[in-house]
Every structure is written in structure tokens, then in C-alpha cells.
Amino acid sequence: MESLRIAAAVVNAPIGETDQNLAEVSHWTRTAADQGVRLICFPEMNLTGYVHTDGAAAWAESIPGPTTDALTKLSRKTGVTVLAGMAEKATDGRLFIVHLAASPEGGLDVYRKLHLAPPEKTIFTPGDQASLFKVESITCGIQLCYDAHFPELTTRMALDGADIVFVPHASPSRGQTAQAKHQSWMRHLTARSFDNGLFIVACNQTGSNGNGLEFPGNAVVIDPSGNILAKKLDDKEGLLVVNLDGSALEHVRGHRMRYFLPNRRPDIY
């Protein structure tokens, strides 16, 4: 893998304020571009705001649509691949939690959340494809918040060639500080990177969604050895900018003891 300069964005995303949220995406993407970033990842449902009640249908949009058009236009103008999330309303009326990957070449990849958290199941439909996308020669995957609690998904992506898995969150505080949320993430996110030999990049919303949920603003980048490269724990909107060095990937995958995937025994499980 070649090296890649990325940004994990921590932003506030009020429900139903899509135009305002798009303006935030534009601001932070342009800020990232000025710092030489080639890919920026925003939190789960940052475009429409995160909600798991009946009101979700009012803010969900079709794909393609005005919001996705604005996102692809922004990516082309800045030269930055933009990962951003929204509620999607399909042509048959079903609702999905999706994350988009808009590329400077005009492409748009759509990831539908596979593992819905229990409060989401009465509103949204789960996706059915663990698809990957490319940033130049680098293979990337997306998992959304609750998705990351299921180890098989990361392994599936790693076996399909993923070098980086982005994990956008809309993970409420439930009284937790950003530091406490970070510690909670460390129970599983470091394991996903270490066991599968890939980078993990995670970010969360921050502040109030305007509908009773509060989010602690945190972000973290983990290398293929399970080490924390950088973290952001101050609850403020902003960017965590990190160079993902391809040599860190080779350090693991080129070592017969550090790279576990080739020694799996799928015949017995």
C-alpha cells in the first residue's frame, strides 16, 4: 500500500439541517485539502443527522439526489475523496443508514449499514453487501458504528483485500465523556486492526442532535499492529489528520508471525 494522508472529522450534525450540515462538510473538506489530505471521513449520518425514530423518513433522501450531487461536486472541486453519511429512502420506501464515498473522478460508492443496533431495527432496513472501494491503489472498507462489534465483518473485508477500514459513528454519550467513549472503543477497535492486519479510522459526532441525543466528540486512528497512531478527545469540532504509512502495513503482512490471516483454519469454523 502507498501512503495516504487522511482526516477523521468530528462534527455536530443537527437532525434535518441537511443544508447546514453540507456546509460543514464543505468547510472541513476544504480545510483538509489545504493540509494535503486525500481522503476525509465524516461521522455516521452527518448529512441528515442521526435519528432512530419515525421522524427519520422526513429527512431521508434518494440516491442519487441533491445531497449526493453536492457531495460528488465537492469531491471533484477539492480533489479529496469524501466519506459522509445520511438516511436513504429507497424507491420502494424502505429506509437505510448509508455512508457514501464520493471520489474526485465522479464516482459514488454507497455502503448500507449491515448490523443495525436494536433501536434502529424498527425504522431502518439492514444492507446486505460488505462492499469495498478504491482510493487510487488502496482498498478501503466502511463499517458503521454497531457494525464494528462483529469480528467476522472485518475479517471478510480483510480477506477481500481491505487495507483500511473506516468506522464512522453516531455513538451517543449516555453520560460518557469523550475519554470514556474512547476507552469503550478500545475494547474492540484495536482488536479489529491487530487481528486482521489493517488500519482502522473511527470518528464520532459531537454535541446535540437537536432531538434528545448528545454525542462525545472523539476520533482515533489505529495501525495494523493495533497501536494508536493518533486520537482526538476534546469534544470540539475539528479534524484528526494522520499519514497512514504503507510501510506499517508491510511490517505486519510481510512477517510470518505478525500476520494471522494466512494461517486461518476456516475448515473447522
Asked whether the beta carbons of 232 and 196 are under 8 A apart, the reply is no
Is 131 inside a domain boundary? yes
> Which value, to the nearest 10 degrees, does the dihedral of the CA atoms of residues 145, 14, 91, 68 take?
-90
From the list 40, 24, 25, 21, the residue with the least C-alpha distance to 241 is 40
User: Would you tell me how many other CB atoms lie within 10 Å of the CB of residue 193?
Assistant: 25
* Residue 266 lies inside a defined structural domain of this protein: no
Inter-axis angle of helices 66-78 and 18-34, nearest 10: 10
Question: What is the spatial distance between Cα 35 and Cα 4, in angstroms, rounded to a whole number?
Answer: 13
Q: Residue 47's closest CA among 102, 127, 90?
A: 102
Confirm whether 68 is domain-assigned. Answer: yes
Peptide bond before residue 64 is cis, with ω within 30 degrees of 0? yes
Q: Please, what is the Cα angle at 48 between 181 and 163, to 5 degrees? A: 55
Report the pLDDT value the prediction gives residue 211, as an integer from 0 to 100: 85
Number of H helices, E strands in the chain: 7, 14
Q: What is the pLDDT of residue 48?
A: 95
- For residue 52, the model assigns a pLDDT of 86
Position 199: which residue type? F
Domain count across the chain? 1
Report how far residue 156's alpha carbon sits from residue 136's, in angstroms, rounded to the nearest whole number: 21
Backbone Cα Rg of the chain: 17
C-alpha 139/C-alpha 51 separation (Å) is: 30
Decide if 269 is inside a domain: no
256/110: higher pLDDT? 110
Domain contains 268: no
Q: What is the pLDDT of residue 169?
A: 98
Check pLDDT > 90 for residue 90. yes
Question: Is the pLDDT assigned to residue 93 strictly greater than 90?
Answer: yes
Q: Is 142 helix (H, G, I), strand (E, B) or coil?
A: strand
* Res 53 pLDDT > 90: no
Q: Please check the confidence at residue 175 and state whether its pLDDT lies above 90.
A: no
What's residue 43's pLDDT? 98
Question: Would residue 200 count as lying in a domain?
Answer: yes
Structural domain including 252 reads 4-261
Question: In angstroms, how far is CA 30 from the centroid of its own chain?
Answer: 19
Cα separation of 189 and 148, whole Å? 7
Look up the CATH number of the domain holding residue 71. 3.60.110.10
Whether the pTM exceeds 0.95: the reply is yes
Residue 1 scores a pLDDT above 90: no
The C-alpha torsion from 99 through 192 and 265 to 157, rounded to 10°, is 20
State residue 241's pLDDT score: 98
Q: Is residue 196 part of a domain?
A: yes
The rounded Cα 173 to chain-centroid distance in angstroms is 18
The neighbour count for residue 161, using CB atoms within 10 Å, is 13
